[in-house]
Amino acid sequence: MFTATQDADRALIMESLSRDSTFHSLDLSGFEFRGMNLSGKTFIACRFSRAIFSGSILDSCRIRMCFFDFSRFSSCSLIGSDIQFSCFSGAHLNDTTFENSDLLHDNFNGLLAAQVSFNDSDLYNSRFVMATLKDTNFQNCNLKKTMFFQTTREKVSFKSSNTREAIFGKGEDPE
C-alpha cells in the first residue's frame, strides 16, 4: 500500500511536493514540513506518521485515508480542507486552524490540542476519544455523531454547534 521512500532522496520528494498536485500511497513518515505551502494538493492513502508541520499552509487540500498519527502541527493553516477517513490519533496540534473544513469520519483519538479552531466545520461522525482540548473552538460546527468520550476540556467553545447530536460520555456535558 505504501511506497517505501524513507531511503529515497528527500530533496527529490520535497521538489515533487512543490511541483505535483496529487499524491497516492506516499510514505512521508517523520518528514519535516517547515513553512511549506501545500495548498490545494490531494493526498490519498498517504502516511504522515510522526511528521512535523511548522508554519505550513495546507488550505483547500483534499485528503483521503491518510495517517497523521503522532504528528505535530504548530502554527499551521488547513482552512477549507476536505479531510475524510483519516487518522490524527495522538497528534499534537498547537495554534492551528481547520476552519471551514469538512472533517468527516476522522479519528482524533488521543489528540492534544491547544489554541486550535475547528470553527464553521463539518465534523460528522468523527471521534475525539480521550482527547485533551485546551483553548479549542468548535463554533458553528456540525457535530452530528461526533464522539467526545472521556475528553479533557479547558476553555472549549461549542457555541452555535449542534451538541445535542454529538455523543458525550455518560454524565459529561459539552459546557
User: Is a pLDDT exceeding 80 seen at residue 9?
Assistant: no
* Model confidence, pTM: 0.92
Rounded-to-5 percentages of helix, strand, coil across the chain: 5, 35, 60
Q: Three-state SS for 95? A: strand
99-143 per-position pLDDT tens digit: 999 999 999 999 999 999 999 999 999 999 999 999 999 999 999
Given its phi and psi angles, is residue 10 left (phi above 0), alpha (psi -120 to 50 degrees) or beta? alpha
**Residue ranges per domain, the chain?**
48-168
Q: With beta carbons less than 8 A apart as the criterion, state whether 138 and 156 touch.
A: yes
User: Is a pLDDT exceeding 60 seen at residue 5?
Assistant: no
74-97 per-position pLDDT tens digit: 999 999 999 999 999 999 999 999
| Confidence (pLDDT) at 2 | 44
Question: What is the average pLDDT score of the chain?
Answer: 94
Instruction: Classify domain 48-168 by CATH architecture.
Output: 3 Solenoid (2.160)
Residue 132 backbone phi and psi in degrees, to 5: -110, 120
Type of residue found at 163: T
| Confidence (pLDDT) at 48 | 98
Residue-wise DSSP of 118-167 = -TT-B-TT-B-TT-EEES-B-TT-B-TT-EETT-EEES-B-TTS-GGGSE
